[in-house]
Amino acid sequence: MDARTAHDSLDQVIFVDVRETYEFKGGHISGSRHIPFGEIPSRVEDLETAGRVVTVCKSGSRSDEAARYLRAFGVDAENLDGGVIAWTQEGFDLVAPDGSAGRVVM
């Protein structure tokens, strides 16, 4: 799913950010859930009834893998193509945990 479509679907999807904690704290899509990539296998049950899920990482690689894994377990999951880099390139904001402006951690 491209960033514009994902942004237009904010109220219809659950964003699951699979980046490491330090990356997530640097800046994430407002309202997203944080489940680090390595925890996805043990947290599938948390997402089985979540509805439509969009997985997110920095560039779209880890989140693509996470989306494929979740789909194998019946979760309605899509990847955010290009990750938070593409999100910010479209002009969409990231937030830090304290509500201030976030940034992509490189």
Q: Is residue 99 part of a domain?
A: no
Whether the Cβ atoms of residue 80 and residue 10 lie closer than 8 Å to each other:
no
Could you tell me the CA-to-CA distances from 24 to 27, 28, 78 in Å, in that order? 5, 6, 19
Here the CATH number for the domain that contains residue 60 is 3.40.250.10
Would 105 be classed as within a structural domain? no
Name the β-bridge partners of 17: 34, 56
Q: Show the domain range for 29.
A: 3-89
Q: Splitting the chain (106 residues) into consecutive groups of 10 residues, what average pLDDT does each group show?
A: 97 97 98 98 92 97 98 97 98 96 95
The pLDDT assigned to 89 comes to 98
**Confidence (pTM):** 0.96
The H or E element spanning position 62 is helix 61-72
The pLDDT of residue 50: 85
